[in-house]
A and B are shown apart, each in its own frame.
Chain A
Amino acid sequence: MADVSDKRPATSETGREDSKMAGLSKASVGTFLAKQGILVAFVLFIIGFTIANPRFIDPDNVLGVVRSSAILGVMALGVTFVVISGNLDLSVGSMMSFSTIVVLDLHDKIGPALAIPAMFAMTLCLGAFIGFLVGYLRLNSLIVTLGMLSAIHGLTLTYSGGQNMDIADKSGTWFSVFGQGEALGIPVPILMFLALAAALGVILAKTPFGRKVYAVGGNGTAATFSGIRRARVVFACYLISAFCVACAGLIQASRSLGSQNTVGQGMELEVLAAVILGGASLLGGSGTIFKTVIGVLILGFIQNGLLLVGLQFYVQYVVTWIIIILAVWLDIAAKRGRLWSPIA
């Protein structure tokens, strides 16, 4: 490969430069929208829905929305780490079913105080397995977690024998506190969601580990060349994801005190939608916990807002679809400096 070298500035770079000069004002509006567009959209939504139905910003309603988003939200926090590190996790839905079923089953067998750590340990093992496959063996994360989605689903069914799992004495257990309890007038699931978001947000933004996650996702080769142990970072991201899933399973189990085997089915894609809506790139290296929280809340508020104006829950699917595509489209349009793709 002789002359890869006459690399004066590369094509793409100069192309971008040119278009920037052509429409500076347009580009800066675009950049602003790309950076803060999701917040702007969020605010517009809230204003719009509030006009349509003032009950929308009623504190009770807001709490209700956040509460019902908490399970999805907690899972999205973990997936944010995985996505920033440049991978995918499609297994969180069935993993959540798994932890819910396990903790409910063990609750009656060994008591809640032991059931909870046991469930966390088992869920983390699953996370570690995925982390090993993707991090150390460098297998494609889409296929690995797709396989794990199916495998964990099978594991759950095998574990439960296909039966629904219920706690025998639903009124006499303190276990319900995680899903149904309140502290300081705020539901516990919300507190858990916010506490986890704060903790993980700090880890991602303020610790050396967080910096390494961005580096590995942004340019894995350059990260390795800087002495970062890439496999270890990816592994840790999947552990964090599994931890979040365990927390979500705990809330889910505690809220209903009984569950089907398929309680988390399909959530992996909703979670991913929330993370993408928050502006994380599937290519890795970008996204924040704060933005993911916004993404989760947008999904929650859309659903709630549409219900309040009298539309069925499924209208939100269509609205979410449109919003996701618009959000990602505007994001990349701002980056490439033109609205339509250059694909011929």
Chain B
Amino acid sequence: MKPGTLSTFLARGAIWGFIVLELIFFSIAGQFFSVSDNAFLDPANMLLLLKQSAPIGIIAMGMTIIMINGNIDLSVGATFALAAVVLLDSMTWPFMAAMGDWAIPLAWTFALLTGAVLGAINGLIVWKTGVDAFIVTLGSMLGFRGLVFMYNGEQPTSHLNWTLVDFAEAQFLGLHTATWFLLGVTAVIWVVMHRTIHGRNAYAIGDNREAAINAGIRVGPHMMRNFVLIGFLAALSAVVFYSESGSVNPNDGQLYELWVITAVVLGGTKLTGGSGSVISTLGGVIAIQLLRKGLGHIGADTETVNLVIGLILIAVLFLDRQLNVKGKEALRT
């Protein structure tokens, strides 16, 4: 077996194994510690869990592509907030208010467009200036957040549209609207990454950039498209979430980038690019949400979840490294 094969296998399969372990652990531990009478594996509980995974999950799909492509995006939380503000505020504009429920698709379009434009700004800067995506998006994380505040000051932006709330709270075949969006996005992104030329080239660029360039693949437009996509998905996540909640604080979405990156890395996507899968990312997202809920279920402080996830992230990194190093002739540098 070539070095790396085992770790690749583990990286792909491990997250699901981890989820099963979590389920078993919390079910059993729940018998002893649970504060509520419900079983942890209660179907309603699991469905809720999927729904709650959606906001982070939808963005994580975009982050997977970005990271496979060899970049990173720290500005998704701010993009999420700005799209939410646009979504809710636009429905209060006079001409929109006059349109009744027809304002909804328009408001969605505005929000999604906002996300895509913000993503395009990031992508364009990374492409044209050659500044590292980490720095560019670190900057725009601040900048986009500033735009959120400039839009509506420090006040929350609120608009509750009951049609929208009904839509968001609807269940179809048992799954909530948000869950459908999450699954839909996962499927679409999977198709994009595995079936389209753009997806395959994105892998190639992240894997061996020089080879891709020598083969005539234009790196810039591909990066650009991926940034537009992640901006769009951050906005979609906001659309799904705020259709229901109806109120956005200017600080909403803070630290989302960290949660998203954690989920993606747990799912086995390489930081250096070229490798990763949206399905595993979905696993990463669910694993984190399970941990959150599970710890609550067994009566642990919800705060503990941060501690546990942080340590798990480091442990995953450590294990991955151990598996990769083994068998290779390591030079001690």
Return chain B residues, CB-CB under 8 Å to A151: 306-307, 309-311, 314
Q: A147 in the interface, Cβ–Cβ < 8 Å?
A: yes
Chain A: residues with Cβ within 8 Å of the partner, total of 58
Specify which of A139, A140, A149, A161 is in contact with B258 (CB 8 Å cutoff): A149
1/0 per residue, CB under 8 A from B, across A195-239: the answer is 000000000000000000000000011001100001000000000
CB A216 to nearest CB in B, in angstroms, measures 11
Q: B127 in the interface, Cβ–Cβ < 8 Å?
A: yes
* Nearest B residue to A130, CB-CB: B314
Return chain A residues, CB-CB under 8 Å to B254: 265-266
> Which listed segment binds A: B17-25, B27-35, B140-148?
B140-148
Q: Nearest 10 CB-CB pairs, A to B?
A: A151-B310, A341-B130, A321-B143, A317-B146, A154-B307, A154-B306, A157-B303, A314-B149, A150-B310, A147-B313
Residue contact B306 to A150, C-beta cutoff 8 Å: yes
Residue contact B303 to A312, C-beta cutoff 8 Å: no
Q: Answer whether A318 and B147 are a contact pair too, CB < 8 Å, given A147-B313, A161-B301, A324-B138.
A: yes
CB A170 to nearest CB in B, in angstroms, measures 26
Told that A162-B301, A320-B146 touch, could you supply 17 new A-B pairs with CB distance under 8 A? A137-B318, A143-B314, A147-B309, A148-B310, A149-B258, A151-B309, A158-B303, A158-B307, A265-B254, A315-B146, A316-B146, A317-B149, A318-B147, A321-B142, A324-B142, A332-B129, A343-B219
User: Which parts of B131-163 form the interface with A (CB within 8 Å)?
Assistant: 131-132, 134-136, 138-150, 153
Q: A177 in the interface, Cβ–Cβ < 8 Å?
A: no
CB A224 to nearest CB in B, in angstroms, measures 5
Residue contact B219 to A344, C-beta cutoff 8 Å: yes
Q: A322 in the interface, Cβ–Cβ < 8 Å?
A: yes
Residue contact B135 to A139, C-beta cutoff 8 Å: no
Q: Answer whether A140 and B74 are a contact pair too, CB < 8 Å, given A282-B134, A312-B150.
A: no
Specify which of A155, A230, A270, A321 is in contact with B146 (CB 8 Å cutoff): A321
Q: Answer whether A143 and B317 are a contact pair too, CB < 8 Å, given A315-B146, A317-B146.
A: yes
Q: A272 in the interface, Cβ–Cβ < 8 Å?
A: yes
Specify which of A147, A317, A333 is in contact with B142 (CB 8 Å cutoff): A317
Q: Answer whether A225 and B333 are a contact pair too, CB < 8 Å, given A139-B321, A266-B254.
A: yes
Can you give 12 A-B contacts (C-beta < 8 A)? A138-B321, A143-B265, A147-B311, A147-B314, A149-B310, A151-B307, A153-B310, A154-B308, A157-B304, A276-B135, A316-B146, A324-B139
Return chain A residues, CB-CB under 8 Å to B307: 150-151, 153-155, 158
Specify which of B301, B309, B313 is in contact with A157 (CB 8 Å cutoff): B301
Residue contact A265 to B255, C-beta cutoff 8 Å: yes
Q: A329 in the interface, Cβ–Cβ < 8 Å?
A: yes
Q: B262 in the interface, Cβ–Cβ < 8 Å?
A: yes
Bound: A316/B149 CA distance, A: 11
Q: Answer whether A321 and B139 are a contact pair too, CB < 8 Å, given A140-B271, A342-B130.
A: yes
Q: A263 in the interface, Cβ–Cβ < 8 Å?
A: no
Bound: A336/B129 CA distance, A: 11
Q: A47 in the interface, Cβ–Cβ < 8 Å?
A: no
Residues of chain A having any CB pair with chain B under 8 Å: 90, 133, 137-140, 142-144, 146-155, 157-158, 161-162, 220-221, 224-225, 230, 265-266, 269-270, 272-273, 276, 282, 312, 314-322, 324-325, 328-329, 332-333, 336, 340-344
Bound: A319/B144 CA distance, A: 11
Residue contact A318 to B304, C-beta cutoff 8 Å: no
Residue contact A154 to B305, C-beta cutoff 8 Å: yes
Q: B125 in the interface, Cβ–Cβ < 8 Å?
A: yes
Q: Answer whether A147 and B138 are a contact pair too, CB < 8 Å, given A314-B150, A322-B143.
A: no
* Nearest B residue to A322, CB-CB: B143
Bound: A140/B139 CA distance, A: 22
Residue contact A272 to B138, C-beta cutoff 8 Å: yes
By secondary structure, the B interface counts as: helix
Specify which of A140, A152, A272 is in contact with B317 (CB 8 Å cutoff): A140
Q: B195 in the interface, Cβ–Cβ < 8 Å?
A: no
* Nearest A residue to B300, CB-CB: A158
Return chain A residues, CB-CB under 8 Å to B146: 314-321
Number of A-B contacts (CB under 8 A): 170
* Nearest B residue to A269, CB-CB: B138
Residue contact A318 to B150, C-beta cutoff 8 Å: yes
Q: B213 in the interface, Cβ–Cβ < 8 Å?
A: yes
CB B300 to nearest CB in A, in angstroms, measures 9
Specify which of B141, B219, B258, B333 is in contact with A146 (CB 8 Å cutoff): B258
Return chain B residues, CB-CB under 8 Å to A276: 135, 138
Return chain B residues, CB-CB under 8 Å to A325: 125, 129, 131, 135-136, 139
Bound: A316/B150 CA distance, A: 10
Residue contact B220 to A344, C-beta cutoff 8 Å: yes
Return chain A residues, CB-CB under 8 Å to B308: 154
Residue contact A341 to B128, C-beta cutoff 8 Å: yes
Return chain A residues, CB-CB under 8 Å to B258: 90, 146, 149-150
Bound: A197/B68 CA distance, A: 40
User: Which parts of B92-134 form the interface with A (CB within 8 Å)?
Assistant: 125, 127-132, 134
Bound: A34/B142 CA distance, A: 23
Q: B282 in the interface, Cβ–Cβ < 8 Å?
A: no
Return chain B residues, CB-CB under 8 Å to A148: 310, 314
Bound: A315/B262 CA distance, A: 30
Q: B261 in the interface, Cβ–Cβ < 8 Å?
A: yes
Return chain A residues, CB-CB under 8 Å to B303: 154, 157-158, 162
Residue contact A273 to B128, C-beta cutoff 8 Å: no
Q: B332 in the interface, Cβ–Cβ < 8 Å?
A: yes
CB B267 to nearest CB in A, in angstroms, measures 13
Specify which of B128, B129, B153 is in contact with A312 (CB 8 Å cutoff): B153
Return chain A residues, CB-CB under 8 Å to B271: 140, 142-143
Q: B218 in the interface, Cβ–Cβ < 8 Å?
A: yes
Return chain B residues, CB-CB under 8 Å to A322: 139, 143
